[in-house]
């Protein structure tokens, strides 16, 4: 089946995110706009306008009421999903790199970059307390002075945040005390992306060291490793099959030196148990920056350096596919 192409951005896509039901797909890019689409046909529902810099991250809460975006214009913004109205503006000293709602949708977290003399912070706000938002005063702010956070997700039950750092470390930060609960270093280079499984029991990382790894969310035990020959920009776990999809390619600045044929701009599918690659999907004209599975597992999307989001529906044969052990 032909993929659905979403053209709503003028610059490279930085993150895509489905809501819980999977009927909406949010996309953000380096062009200041956050878009929301119907995932079934690729129709654009609307945009969230207000940012003045590249938008690095987006998240949507459990009941698709609010949307959170973080941007290089030194702000994190909360939007009404339905109307596109800006509900809150949280200013920071440096770019907001990651953001997310916890399971309840009441607590938000976002991390800022280490730049212009400011260090990286992981901030927590409780949306039930309007005073925190008005005063722009998080109830918890964790400094990460050594290595900045490059990606982060909430753990199960909203008790901690799992953060990946530029040196390859993964930390669990308590959302109550701010303590580091666990620390592992399985990657040798920067972690580009962390995504959770649908039941939040596992997370998958994507790293510049050409690997993607599967971890237990609670214990951070390393379960599986998926190897490629290029940096991995993003990885996602299928909610239905024992599969993971990875997207990557080279650094954007090196792209001009290779033809697309050997540029390795395919989405790659691996079996989660056997760690073996069983499929590739071509299509993007540059590195894939982000991938996401639809919550029903019947399709997946990828966002690329070329500014397109592509929604791919799986053929019926995909669901009958068994890897021969």
Task: List pLDDT tens digits, range 204-235.
Answer: 999 999 999 999 999 999 999 999 888 999 99
Helices (H), the chain: 130-135, 316-320
Q: Which residue spans within 260-313 are E strands per DSSP?
A: 267-271, 277-281, 288-293, 299-304, 308-313
Residue 109 in contact with residue 70, Cβ under 8 Å?
A: no
- Cβ atoms 255, 263 nearer than 8 A: yes
The phi-psi region of residue 33 (left if phi > 0; otherwise alpha if psi is between -120 and 50; otherwise beta) is: beta
Specify the 3-state DSSP secondary structure of 257.
helix
Q: What is the rounded distance in angstroms from the CA atom of residue 249 to the CA atom of residue 33?
A: 24
Q: How confident is the model at residue 143 (pLDDT cuts 50, 70, 90)?
A: confident
CATH code of the domain in which 69 resides: 2.130.10.10
- Would the pLDDT of 263 be above 60? no
Q: Output the six-digit token pair for 255.
A: 């792209």
Please give the residue that has the higher pLDDT: either 21 or 321.
21
| Residue 324, domain member (yes or no) | no
Our count of domains for the chain comes to: 1
Q: Is residue 325 part of a domain?
A: no
Examine residue 175 and state whether it is found in any structural domain, yes or no. Answer: yes
Whether 138 maps to a domain, the answer reads: yes
304 found inside a domain: yes
- Position 262 scores a pLDDT of 52
Which residues form the domain of 248?
A: 3-318
The pLDDT score that the predictor gives to residue 325 is 60
Residue 323 resides in a domain? no
pLDDT over 80 at 255, yes or no: no
* pLDDT tier for residue 246 given thresholds of 50, 70 and 90: very high
């Amino acid at each position: 089946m032909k993929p659905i192409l979403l053209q709503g951005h003028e610059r490279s896509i930085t993150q895509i995110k489905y809501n819980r039901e999977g009927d909406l797909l949010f996309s953000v890019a380096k062009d200041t706009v956050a878009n929301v689409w119907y995932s079934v046909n690729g129709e654009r529902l609307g945009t969230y306008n207000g940012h003045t810099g590249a938008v690095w991250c987006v998240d949507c809460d459990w009941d698709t009421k609010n949307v959170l975006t973080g941007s290089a214009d030194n702000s994190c913004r909360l939007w009404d999903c339905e109307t596109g109205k800006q509900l809150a503006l949280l200013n920071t000293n440096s770019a907001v790199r990651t953001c997310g709602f916890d399971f309840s949708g009441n607590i938000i977290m976002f991390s800022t970059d280490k730049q212009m003399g400011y260090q990286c912070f992981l901030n927590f706000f409780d949306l039930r307390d309007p005073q925190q938002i008005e005063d722009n005063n998080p109830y918890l702010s964790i400094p990460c002075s050594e290595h900045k956070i490059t990606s982060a997700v909430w753990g199960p039950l909203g008790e901690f945040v799992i953060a990946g750092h530029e040196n390859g470390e993964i930390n669990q930060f308590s959302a109550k005390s701010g303590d580091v609960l666990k620390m592992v270093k399985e990657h040798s280079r920067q972690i580009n992306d962390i995504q959770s499984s649908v039941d939040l029991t596992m997370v998958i990382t994507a790293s510049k060291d050409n690997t993607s790894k599967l971890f237990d969310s609670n214990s951070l035990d390393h379960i599986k490793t998926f190897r490629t020959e290029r940096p991995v920009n993003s990885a996602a776990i299928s909610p239905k099959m024992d599969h993971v999809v990875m997207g990557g390619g080279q650094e954007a600045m090196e792209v001009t030196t290779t033809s697309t044929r050997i540029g390795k701009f395919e989405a790659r599918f691996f079996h989660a148990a056997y760690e073996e690659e069983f499929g590739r999907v071509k299509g993007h004209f540059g590195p894939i920056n982000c991938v996401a599975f639809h919550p029903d597992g019947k399709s997946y999307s990828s966002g690329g350096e070329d500014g397109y989001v592509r929604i791919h529906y799986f053929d019926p044969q995909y669901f009958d596919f068994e890897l021969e052990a």
